[in-house]
Amino acid sequence: MELYELTIHELQAKLRAGETTAAEVTASVFRRIDAVEKDVRAYISLMRKSALAEAARAEEQLRKGEAGPLAGIPIALKDITCTKGYRTTCGSRVLDNFIPPYDATVVEKLRAAGAVFTGKTNMDEFAMGSSTETSHYGTTRNPWDLGRIPGGSSGGSAAAVAAGECIASLGSDTGGSIRQPAALCGVVGLKPTYGRVSRYGLIAFASSLDQIGPFTKDVEDCAIVMNVIAGYDPAESTSVPAEVPDYRGFLGRGVEGWTVGIPQEYFVAGIDPEVEAAVRRTITLLEGAGARCVEISLPHTRYCLAVYYIIAPAEACSNLARYDGVRFGFRAEGSRDLIDLYKKSRSAGFGAEVKRRIMLGTYALSSGYYDAYYKKASQVRALIKRDFDTAFASCDAILTPTTPTPAFKIGEKTDDPMQMYLSDIFTISANLAGIPGISVPCGFSAAGLPIGVQFLAGHFQEGRLIQIASAFEKLAPSEKRRPAL
């Protein structure tokens, strides 16, 4: 077995036992990148040179016994996280030449833990999309079927983990952008509680919904990365100063006596029969392990998509106003005056999906429409949150499919935004409610495409998600396959 195929905890053991070195691990991952990246296209930029230096530094720390929890582990970053001195594009032409003067808080934390950064992964432009097809840097391919999308918006980060082009990665999730690609690429993806992981240095799409989280090969790795990145950040006003437990402590505890809610609204027409079957199988396995699965109702579920497509674009149109061609990023040539400079730079700098959402958001906030759209959406959002509060009063966790279908074909939904938006229908509610959610592989379609199951828990209950996900992972060990690249 090659080093790039191993998990964080497997590599940690080998590194600490001196069976391999950080340099060898990093070299193995870059060899893998050289072999498959031309097919997968998971990365926008590689950080090969600095990775070697970081590996050397990690090696030194390992030798001295001062190694952090991620010492020598090659990790990829979604290109939405600011990296000091390294280009950060957010998948957009607007930021094609943008080199941040500072590191995101999560980058600092990973660095302090000894991580080796492999590069910046591809994504839908400004995280607006479910397939990475809106990226200015081309579409990432699903490692399980190169003719299909990897999901999005963090498609590059999910594909890189699935293809062995990194050991773990970070993504961001505004409406499902971690969980959906995790499901479609057959990896574990966690969206933490809003306020659990610092957003400082995460380029904003929708500020009240965005959250950074990990992609990993298994649940234990997910716990390891969460231990590093979770925690209060005084640089973020919405960061919550709640204590962070050791997430590894939730591994292997089982779900005996748990009540797991199965929301009826998530098993509706339009869900792929193979997906439904795989998710139902999960329910049976959990019941076999002693969990009680009960049908529950989240009555406002049907408003989630509508609420999301008002709030997220409204925040986005404001967040993206700074890309005006004046101080940094793309500037169109030959402008007559200021207004012309704005128009030309933004027209040429942004792609179609981003423009669509800027227009949607601008409209929703316009004078005369604010009450009918933004205000109403905020009120319904409170009801959606209340649905979950009610459910978690009697459930330890909620189980749903992560996506209605397995990965779709490249180009299949690019002309139909509504169909594209529907691929996030099961993941959006967690962002609106601010609760954590995890997607774990739960089987394959007949065509060999991965399927994911989603677990949701109450605010700051990431530990429960890790507990139930790890319990389920144990129940279905036979599902471990690798994409044939």
Partner 1 sequence: MEYEPVIGLEVHAQLLTDAKIFCGCSTKFGAAPNSHTCPICLGMPGVLPVLNKKVVEFMMKMALATNCRLNRGCLFARKNYFYPDLPKGYQISQYAQPPAEHGWVEVEIAGGKKRIGITRIHMEEDAGKLMHDEFSPVSRVDLNRTGVPLIEIVSEPDIRGAEEAAAYLRRLHETLVYLEICDGNMEEGSFRCDANVSLRPKGSETFGTRAELKNMNSFRNVQRALEYEIKRQQYLLEGGGSVVQETRLWDDTAGVSHPMRGKEEAHDYRYFPDPDLVPVVIDDAWVEAVRQTLPELPLERRERFVRDYQIPAYDAGVLTASRQLADYYEEVVRLSAEPKLASNWVMGEILRFLNEDKKEIRACPITPAALAELISLIKEGQISGKMAKEVVDQMYRTGAAPGAIIKEKGLVQITDEAALSATIAAVIAANPGQLAQYRAGKEKVFGFFVGQVMKATQGKANPQLINDLLKKMLAG
Subset of 162-201 contacting partner 1 (CB under 8 A): 199-201
Indicate if 347 belongs to the active site: no
The burial class, CB within 10 Å (0-12 / 13-18 / 19+), for 480 is: exposed
Nearer to partner 1, 284 or 366 (CB): 366
Q: Does 154 bind partner 1 (CB under 8 A)?
A: no
The burial class, CB within 10 Å (0-12 / 13-18 / 19+), for 87 is: middle
For partner 1, which residue of 53, 277, 306, 321 counts as binding (CB under 8 A)? 321
Which residue among the candidates 177, 198, 429, 470 is catalytic per the annotation? 177
User: How many alpha carbons fall within 13 Å on the CB side of residue 484?
Assistant: 2
Indicate if 239 belongs to the active site: no
Q: Does 99 bind partner 1 (CB under 8 A)?
A: no
Identify the H or E element spanning 144: none
Task: In angstroms, give the least distance from the CB of 184 to partner 1.
Answer: 27
Q: Does 324 bind partner 1 (CB under 8 A)?
A: yes
The site string for partner 1 over 364-403 (x = CB under 8 A, - otherwise) reads -xxx--x---x-----------------------------
Alpha helices in 294-443 (DSSP H): 304-319, 338-349, 352-365, 376-394, 417-422, 428-433
The C-alpha angle 464, 248, 458, rounded to 5 degrees, equals 20
Q: How many helices (H) and strands (E) does the chain have?
A: 15, 11
Nearer to partner 1, 70 or 90 (CB): 90
Select from 297, 299, 459, 309 the least CA-distant residue to 377.
309
Distance CA(46)–CA(136), nearest Å, equals 16
Q: Does 203 bind partner 1 (CB under 8 A)?
A: yes
β-strand 212-216 against 168-172: which pairing, if any? antiparallel
Instruction: Tell the residue number behind the tokens 């709030």, with chain if given.
Output: 311
For partner 1, which residue of 54, 145, 315, 462 counts as binding (CB under 8 A)? 315
Indicate if 177 belongs to the active site: yes
Task: In angstroms, give the least distance from the CB of 436 to partner 1.
Answer: 19
Subset of 238-297 contacting partner 1 (CB under 8 A): 238
For partner 1, which residue of 58, 82, 190, 225 counts as binding (CB under 8 A)? 82
Q: Which of these segments, 64-72, 143-151, 230-238, 474-482, binds partner 1 (CB under 8 A)?
A: 230-238
Distance CA(282)–CA(129), nearest Å, equals 28
Q: Does 237 bind partner 1 (CB under 8 A)?
A: yes
Nearer to partner 1, 207 or 414 (CB): 207
Residues that bind partner 1 (rule: CB under 8 A) add up to a total of: 44
β-strand 188-191 against 116-121: which pairing, if any? unpaired
Which residue among the candidates 78, 120, 191, 413 is catalytic per the annotation? 78
Tell me which residues are annotated as active site.
Answer: 78, 153, 177
